[in-house]
A and B are shown apart, each in its own frame.
Chain A
Amino acid sequence: MEKYETHEHDVLVIGAGGAGLRATIEAAHQGVSVGLVCKSLLGKAHTVMAEGGVAAALAHVDPQDGWETHFRDTMKGGSFLNHWRMAQIHAQESPDRVRELEHWGALFDRTQDGRILQRAFGGHTWKRLAHVGDRTGLEMIRTLQDQVVHLGVPVYMECTITRLFTEGGRIAGAMAYWRESGRFVVFRAKAVVIATGGVGKSYKVTSNSWEYSGDGQTLAYEAGAELIDLEFVQFHPTGMVWPPGVMGLLVTEGVRGEGGILRNAKGERFMWKYLPEARRHEYAVDEDEARRWVEAAVENRQTDDKRPPELSTRDNVARAIYTEVREGRGTPHGGAYLDISYLPAERVQRKLPSMYHQFMELADVDITQQPMEVGPTMHYMMGGIRVDPDTASSTVPGLYAAGEAAAGLHGANRLGGNSLSDLLVFGRRAGLSAAQYAKALASNPRLDEREIEREAGETLAPFERTSGESPYDVHRDLQTCMDRHVGIFRVQEDLELGLKTLATLKERARKVRVEGTRLYNPGWHLARDLANMITVSEGITRGALLRKESRGAHSRLDHPSMDPALGKVNFCVSRAGEEMKVAATPLPEMPAELRYLFEMAKEKVG
């Protein structure tokens, strides 16, 4: 008789967003026993919130598109810090993954000839994002969820994994608690897939939910896996800035994809000023050309006109808005105006219904009549668990990762729409590899009772303390620290100060006290999540300190240009005892045939 509730699976998938669900489906198809765990109810993961679309070179709208262009766009968007092989697999496989979703029942918006419609997004050369109005993620997660439900896979909902167990260096299982009862659960598993998403809750102004506390990255790190590229944190250029309660909520890039124009308080359309010289030729030269491009998009027809400058990459647009505000040309609530009201109201309501309601109900703004006020918000984590591109395996045997928790595909900056496709492509690969690994494993790994006890003790410790701070206070200070010192623009002194503050926060987090019982206790849950947020925040800050250059989403005011030498390395974080170790590791070199794709297009690599 075991002391704690125990379940056994060949493959344990942690996370029920797009990546975890897709991994679960694939592993189940391989005939192994799969269990799926998530912190919220099924269907509430971040994937449900995705709005704009999923990127795949289906070439339904722009027949010139193909995987080669998608690959090039992804590499350029990531300032060539991406793992070339991930970017290649992603571009090649995403069309099949999107079509597969359709065959599972997803209903995408249609082209005039009845196929999946695609819209423009920042950094994508062609109209590439398959979408459902502005609720693409909802359609995707429901479709995947239904597959999982009908496969009969057990889903452990509102169950938080707090530790991975290894035996002789390979995965053996995991420990969790039920959020509802506070009771512990032990999972025996031959393989684990981490699909836990990002770490937005380290920042105050963010589009992310409470779930994004860097759990997966920390679980992997503590199990001995390597994390890379943590310094690359994406600030989405358009978050809501007003009213205060919704600050940071996302305004989909779909608004700009549909023709949204950015202006400062003086009415100037400023994005032209901020286009990088090397990319300027990819954009409309003036308002007339930009308008013609939008008209063609509205009428669903081909055009030779170039896209508007608002569709520059996210890192660039975020810095532009930030700079306009800092230089005194911000809107009354400290953002920029984003205007789509010049299009017919009916079209705005049909293509952007949730944005329409979001602004109407939460900000009293009618976006068919007035501009929105927007500003940067922490949105996405490019860095994460280092994985092998083909198998999605981490550096720990039996441990796999996919989705936002994994790293490599997006390099220094992610293009919009490339996450949803990432989830499908690498979720599938992770599920497949994990199942194959589990099948091939000769013996069942064993769990160590002492480790289980130690973990249980650690998780319960905040209840034992009679003094100590509230976890909410430490969390607030962590967010302030990250917003202030490790934000969009970074400098050495700030980052050093940030690191020091994080060290004290770590100590404070170890001593927090929680009140009440183990029954559905958010304060206790936060106490546990805090440690993970701090670990990943430390990795972000250490990476940012070492990367003495500006590349993609990482901007150093004290090192404003790119350093070609740093373009050849990833900073890799791993655990050395109680210390965090950071090392520069060489970036794999792109083979000649892929380099050739850039030469053909007369583009510079690097």
Chain B
Amino acid sequence: MTQTMVESRPGTATAQAPAGEGQARSREAVLRVFRGDASGGSEVEYRVPVAPGMVVLDAIHWIQAHRAPDLAVRWNCKAAKCGSCSAEVNGKPSLMCKTRLDHFAQDRTISVRPMKTFPIIKDLVTDVSWNYEVNKRIPPFKPRPGADWRWQQSDVDRVQEFRKCIECFLCQDVCHVLRTHELKHQFAGPRFFVRIAGLEMHPMDGEDRSGFLKDHAGIGLCNITKCCTEVCPESITITDNAIIPLKERVVDWFYDPLRMVWRKLTGR
């Protein structure tokens, strides 16, 4: 084993077999992958040889290379950094590049399906363009006039959390307001509350998005179930740190008369 790996560094004499081939014939995983498009489809079973540390995305790539070259899937980084490879693995919204095969019981079939909340294009690829449309409507960063561009790390620790978002849209996929109630036209979804929180809590930002949050982003529709927080691969505490403070802002802005007067006077 050691030897194979040594020789597989670039520039050396022997190339290594692709992950999953050759070395670890001993174990196979059984995947049931959704195959189909807008006109319908079904799960297809594939048996995939397993290598140590293998993730679901590796298995999908193996299937493409050996069984189904036209199997559609999105991916880029393979390191949970780009948010491309979102799918539902055994019903759980997950990044395929981060979901290890050895976390499932050996004898269990692993089902891999596209995100349900978005219209299917083909196989594991869905049409997520709605998210890009929502994003366009969010009032952008607007620096306060005359701002001094100095602040302490402690001032931005909180807002940096929101900026970790890799736009995998798994939180959008799981949120019942979008998934079950299909209120896409009224509700921006957790991803965009995270984004708005990132703008609102930016130390230099001078824009006010309370009206947008209430009337266009539909923040009132969120009933704090925290399902979004549970699936976030970046461990962003979406509900507690982003949504709840934003809800409070909206309440403050629209319903607290003293603050309203103060804000009118100070322009904030």
Contact = CB atoms under 8 A, between A and B. Distances in A.
Interface of A: 40-46, 48-49, 102-105, 107, 109-110, 113-115, 117, 132-133, 135, 138-139, 142, 146, 149-150, 157, 180, 203-205, 209-211, 235, 241-247, 249-250, 322, 325-326, 330, 332-334, 354, 357-358, 361-364, 375-378, 470-473, 476, 479-480, 482-484, 486-490, 514-517, 519-524, 526
Contacts of A113: 150
Contact of B55 (A241, A362, A489): A362
B15 interface: yes
B31 interface: no
A107 B11 CA distance: 40
Contact of A243 (B8, B53, B164): B53
Interface in B47-99: 51-55, 58, 64-66, 69-84, 98
B11 A322 contact: yes
B12 A520 contact: no
Nearest to A483: B10
Interface in B211-247: none
6 contacts: A241-B5, A243-B52, A322-B9, A376-B9, A489-B11, A524-B70
Nearest to A235: B10
A249 B79 contact: yes
Contacts, number: 231
A44 B84 contact: yes
A330 B12 CA distance: 14
Contact of A522 (B73, B84, B151, B204): B73
A362 B18 CA distance: 17
B249 interface: no
B70 A149 contact: no
B152 to A, nearest CB: 6
A245 B69 CA distance: 19
B208 interface: no
B122 interface: yes
Given A242-B53, A520-B72, A110 B153 contact: yes
Interface of B: 2, 5-16, 18-20, 23, 37, 51-55, 58, 64-66, 69-84, 98, 100, 121-123, 125, 127-129, 132, 135-136, 140-141, 143, 149-153, 156, 159-160, 163-164, 166-167, 199, 202, 204-205
Contacts of A42: 132
A41 B11 contact: no
B37 A519 contact: yes
Given A138-B163, A516-B70, A490 B11 contact: yes
A471 B64 CA distance: 10
A517 B82 contact: no
Contacts of B151: 110, 114
Given A139-B163, A209-B75, A519-B122, A245 B10 contact: no
Given A235-B10, A242-B52, A470-B69, 11 more contacts: A110-B156, A114-B150, A115-B150, A245-B54, A325-B6, A362-B98, A376-B11, A488-B9, A520-B72, A522-B64, A522-B70
Given A242-B53, A322-B9, A483-B10, A41 B75 contact: no
B165 to A, nearest CB: 8
B73 A245 contact: no
Contacts of A105: 140-141, 143, 199, 202, 204-205
A245 B53 contact: yes
A110 B37 CA distance: 48
A375 B8 CA distance: 10
A433 B45 CA distance: 53
A334 B65 contact: no
A391 to B, nearest CB: 30
A479 B17 CA distance: 11
A332 B5 CA distance: 9
Given A243-B52, A377-B10, A48 B77 contact: yes
B74 A41 contact: yes
Contacts of A117: 153
**Among the interface residues A486, A516, A522, A524, which one has the most CB atoms of the partner chain B within 10 A?**
A522
Given A334-B9, A376-B10, A245 B80 contact: no
A49 B141 CA distance: 23
Contact of A516 (B16, B54, B69): B69
A516 B69 CA distance: 8
Given A105-B199, A150-B140, A203-B10, A363 B53 contact: yes
Given A110-B152, A113-B150, A204 B15 contact: yes
A104 B150 contact: no
A119 B197 CA distance: 28
A102 to B, nearest CB: 6
Contacts of A142: 163
B2 A333 contact: yes
Given A49-B77, A484-B12, A521-B72, A245 B6 contact: no
A512 B157 CA distance: 52
A245 B19 contact: yes
Contact of B52 (A244, A358, A378): A244
* 10 A-B pairs closest in CB distance: A487-B11, A243-B53, A516-B70, A523-B69, A114-B150, A105-B141, A334-B6, A488-B11, A487-B10, A480-B15
A382 to B, nearest CB: 16
A273 B45 CA distance: 53
B19 to A, nearest CB: 4
B202 A246 contact: no
A357 B80 contact: yes
B76 A44 contact: yes
Contact of A325 (B9, B129, B140): B9
A332 to B, nearest CB: 6
**Among the interface residues A138, A149, A487, which one has the most CB atoms of the partner chain B within 10 A?**
A138
Contacts of A104: 141
Nearest to A212: B76
B2 A521 contact: no
A358 to B, nearest CB: 6
A177 to B, nearest CB: 15
Contacts of A245: 19-20, 51, 53-55, 58
Given A40-B74, A138-B164, A203-B10, A149 B135 contact: yes
Nearest to A470: B69
A53 to B, nearest CB: 15
Contacts of A471: 69
A114 B152 contact: yes
A109 B156 CA distance: 8
A30 to B, nearest CB: 20
A240 to B, nearest CB: 9
Contact of B128 (A41, A333, A490): A41
Contacts of A330: 6
Contact of A103 (B75, B127, B143): B143
Contacts of B19: 243-245, 247
A333 B5 contact: yes
A521 B7 CA distance: 34
Contacts of B80: 354, 357-358, 361
A249 B16 CA distance: 16
Nearest to B95: A361
Contacts of A139: 163
A210 B72 CA distance: 13
Contact of A135 (B5, B81, B125, B149): B81
